[in-house]
Structure 1
Amino acid sequence: MRKLLTILLLTFSTTVFAQVAEKKDLVDFLPEGYDIFEKIDGDLNKDGLEDNVLVIKGTDISKVKTDEDRGELDRNRRGIIVLFNTNGNYELALENYECLNSENEDGGVYFPPELSVKIEKENLYFHFGHGRYGSWEYTFRFQNSEFELIGYDETSKRGPVTDRKTSINFLTRKKHEKVNTYENELDEVFKETWTTIEVKRLIKLSEIKDFDELDMTVD
């Protein structure tokens, strides 16, 4: 009886594993109540295969609002699913369903920042563009079996003129700042500083509840 039970358990485990490993359709990884908003391809785990990042978006109709100036706005939040390519099949590497706000978020007196997700040199980038006000970007790398935040870059602008540029490397624990001195009205003249920062632990993408709440103020 014990041998039979062991065989049945092994057979069941093998069947479940095969079902997980044989997922070939990206939509099979979508949680209920979400659609694919955008798909990004690129190698993230340095195996030479094209992995997939899905930006997903909720479909709750109660979160579709009507604005008197902008009309109907879908305020459902967005999230991320990362799938590793395993020779034609897909393996779930990360899921974070609501870490990104809606593309129709209320920006107050400003318009909401525009999100761009890309893969370059095995790194995963989240770029937020705010037009003439500047931009900020988060860089993640797959290491220690996690996607960890290894870099942050921010540019503050006043129209076409750059006020400040900040770049943080969490691996080297260095912060680089360039501040416009406005010594010359025709040219941007920057004062540069390098500082060493304290990093107790790297932020994991899986832990981020809301990108808007990340505080990149470091000393």
Structure 2
Amino acid sequence: MPTWYSPYNITNKPPRVKQLLSFLLSALALPSYGQNFSYPTLKAKGQRLTDFVPSGWTIHNSATGDLNKDGLPDAALVLQHKATVTLTDSEGQVVKSQPRILAILLKSEGTGGFELKEQSNSFIPEDQDLEDDSEELNDPFLRIEIKRGVLELTFQESYKTSTTYSTATGYKFRYNGTDFQLIGADFARTHRKHFELEQYSYNFLTKKRIYSKGKIGGSMTSSAPKSLALPTLKTLKTLKALNGWEIEPDVAL
């Protein structure tokens, strides 16, 4: 069973997966907002992590570890705008949020500082539940980690109301000297009422997918690996946003 995250403690929502994915694609895709908010361009180099934090922003979460196999501690930051911004999404809905930026920094042996290698203004969705609306999604961002040279990002899609369905998605990115390639992903869907759990585990290096199904807290039955038709690996740049890639029916990464 994949162990990138545990979906068992996630609040659930009724079985409307396509509606949920459609909502996420429209509500969480930051570049779709039509208003005058603009993202800052982060510094290319800095001695400290705080040098990459623009005025009016803060470090919401972070991880450290060696991403380029040079033995030095690199860093990945999730920056968050301090003030609440009122935005209009692609469907014309007015939402309040605190925008976020993903920044990936490589440590320099020569200067002892850091160099910015990746800035994504769209991959880390913000918490739009700023008015305590019980029908809104909980904060989709769960955690960021660097393990064995791999950047791992984990998200959950759940509602505050305790109903039926929820999903969780984990990503694994590895630096190839130029880009951060998506080498693996995990998608889980839970049904609280029936205690059912489905998991899709993707290995994009071997181009295989394993599907598992079972009961929450119980044993899982896994299918034989399924081959994937993937001509090239996706990257953090080409994937762009959470749930933006419908890899198979009812499964979006």
Query: CA shift at 1:74, angstroms?
Result: 5.8
Aligned to 2:101: 79
RMSD of aligned C-alpha atoms?
A: 3.3
2:230 maps to which of 175, 199, 204: 199
2:80 maps to which of 40, 45, 57: 57
Deviations 1:80-103 (A, max 9, x none): 111111132111111112322113
Counterpart contact for 1:162–1:188, Cα < 8 Å: no
Letter in 2 for 1:93: K
Query: Within 5 A, what are the aligned runs for 1:108-127?
Result: 108=135, 110-127=137-154
Counterpart contact for 2:181–2:233, Cα < 8 Å: yes
Deviations 1:169-218 (A, max 9, x none): 111100111133x7xx9954525231111112222113443213232328
| Larger gyration radius, structure 1 or structure 2 | 1
Structure 2: unaligned runs, 5 residues or longer: 1-42, 88-94, 159-164
In the superposition, the TM-score normalised over structure 1's length comes to 0.72
Counterpart contact for 2:85–2:97, Cα < 8 Å: no
Counterpart contact for 2:210–2:225, Cα < 8 Å: yes
Structure 1: unaligned runs, 5 residues or longer: 1-18, 65-72
2:116 maps to which of 92, 97, 103: 92
Identity of matched residues, %:
24
Kindly indicate which of the two structures has a greater share of residues assigned to strand: 1
Would you say how many aligned residue pairs link Structure 1 and Structure 2? 189
Aligned to 2:199: 165
1:153 maps to which of 182, 186, 193: 186
Higher relative contact order (CA 8 A, sep 6+): 2
Query: CA shift at 1:144, angstroms?
Result: 4.4
Aligned to 1:140: 173
Counterpart contact for 2:151–2:174, Cα < 8 Å: yes
Partner secondary structure for residue 98 of structure 1? coil
Give the 3 Å change call, closer, same or farther, for CA 25–111 of structure 1 in structure 2: closer
